[in-house]
Every structure is written in structure tokens, then in C-alpha cells.
């Protein structure tokens, strides 16, 4: 199969599955020339400027792996958020969270993780949420060092005459988790919300 056709099929496959499924291995294997092929270039007889470099498919495969890891992290992050809310809170804020807050979380995760080196990227996991009244939704951390990379939290705010709000925000290791970066707020009620994970 021609290289351009193979690459086109890999790209189309990735687009059609939104990068969630790895293309079949049969598309990723490059055509190997036979040992007696006359197409082999004798680079020793060519002047320096005529020698051309052939790039392997490794960078493309690396991007596919990185996209798959990113997709897994985002899926797990969403699951951990709903686990944090529990049935009582989740039933009331789930739609607004999905429409307003989670797209921002996804954007932040994508931006920060695309800035990281491939070695760090492959060692990231999503932590469990905390129950009770704790703020932690999940942290994204490096499994090798145990250090957090991003922390996503939700804080309960009781505003006078308004009632309770859930303020979603995140912190990053770039500033040692000092700054509070706002993602938005969702209104609860004038009554005290139940504990998380109930």
C-alpha cells in the first residue's frame, strides 16, 4: 500500500474516532523494501547536498500515544468529578457542570499537558476525590515522583442573601499552587448543601 494512502487512512481513522481508538496495526506498519531492491540509495556515492533524509513514523505514533493518554486522563477526570458530587449534589448540578465548567477543565488539562515533556506525560494519573466538605475534586500527579501537576477544587461559598454557591477553580505547579485560577461557579440553594460523595 502506498505510504500516502496509508497515512491518509491513519489520519481519517483518527478523525473518525476522535482519536479515541488507535488505528489498526496493519496501517501503521511501513512497507519494507526487499533486500535485492534496486530502490536502495547508495548514499556513499552522493555529494552531501544530494543526500536526503527519510523521517520515520515515530513522531506520528508519539502524537497518537499522547492523544490517547490525554483522552484517558480527561475521561477519568470527568468520572472523578461525578464521583465527587455524589447523587444528591450531582443530580442538581450535573448538566450545568457538563455544559459550563467541564469544557474549561478539559481545555486547561489539554493546554498544560501538551506543554509537558513526553516522559512526564506518560507518568500522569488522576487522583481520587475527597468527600465530606473537602475541596479536592481530583489532582493530576506524576506517578514516578508523587508530585502534583494540576489540582482541581470546588469550594462552597455562602454569600449573604444569596445562598450557597460551588466555586470551581484550579492550581498549577508552575507557581507552586499559589494562585487560585477561577473556572466558574454554580448556584446551589439557600439551604446548606449535603456532603460530597453522598
* DSSP character string of 128-174: PP--BT--EEEEEEETTT--EEEEEEEEEEEETTTEEEEEEEEEEGG
For the chain, the residue count is 198
User: pTM surpassing 0.75?
Assistant: no
Q: Could you tell me which residue, 194 or 35, shows the higher pLDDT?
A: 194
Domain edges within the chain:
62-189
Res 168 pLDDT > 80: yes
Residue closest to 29 by CA, chosen among 69, 59, 62, 56: 56
Q: Which three cell numbers stand for residue 129?
A: 476525590
Res 23 pLDDT > 70: no
pLDDT given for residue 28 in this prediction: 53
Q: What is the mean pLDDT of the chain?
A: 80
Any long-range contacts for 92-99 (C-beta under 8 Å, 24+ apart)?
A: 92/188, 93/166, 93/186, 93/188, 96/186, 97/168, 97/186
Lowest mean pLDDT among 4-18, 119-133, 142-156: 4-18
pLDDT given for residue 194 in this prediction: 96
pLDDT given for residue 63 in this prediction: 73
d(CA 172, CA 181): 9
Within 10 Å of residue 54's Cβ, how many Cβ atoms? 5
d(CA 184, CA 169): 7
Res 36 pLDDT > 50: no
Res 34 pLDDT > 50: no
Res 138 pLDDT > 80: yes
Helix, strand, coil tally for the chain in percent (to 5): 45, 20, 35
Share of the chain above pLDDT 90, in %: 57
Averaged pLDDT, 20-24: 57
Amino acid at each position: 500500500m502506498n505510504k500516502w494512502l496509508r497515512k491518509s487512512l491513519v489520519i481519517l481513522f483518527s478523525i473518525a474516532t476522535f482519536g479515541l481508538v488507535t488505528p489498526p496495526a496493519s496501517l501503521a506498519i511501513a512497507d519494507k523494501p526487499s533486500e535485492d531492491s534496486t530502490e536502495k540509495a547508495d548514499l556513499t556515492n552522493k555529494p552531501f547536498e544530494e543526500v536526503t533524509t527519510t523521517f520515520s513514523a515515530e513522531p506520528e505514533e508519539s502524537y497518537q500515544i499522547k492523544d490517547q493518554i490525554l483522552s484517558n486522563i480527561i475521561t477519568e477526570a470527568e468520572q472523578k468529578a461525578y464521583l465527587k458530587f455524589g447523587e444528591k449534589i450531582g443530580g442538581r448540578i450535573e448538566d450545568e457542570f457538563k455544559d459550563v465548567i467541564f469544557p474549561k477543565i478539559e481545555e486547561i488539562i489539554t493546554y498544560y499537558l501538551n506543554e509537558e515533556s513526553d516522559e512526564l506525560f506518560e507518568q500522569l494519573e488522576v487522583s481520587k476525590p475527597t468527600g465530606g466538605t473537602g475541596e479536592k475534586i481530583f489532582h493530576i500527579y506524576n506517578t514516578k515522583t508523587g508530585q502534583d501537576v494540576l489540582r482541581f477544587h470546588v469550594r462552597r461559598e455562602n454569600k449573604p442573601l444569596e445562598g450557597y454557591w460551588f466555586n470551581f477553580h484550579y492550581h498549577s505547579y508552575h507557581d507552586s499552587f499559589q494562585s487560585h485560577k477561577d473556572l466558574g461557579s454554580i448556584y446551589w440553594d439557600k439551604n446548606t448543601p449535603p456532603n460530597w460523595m453522598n
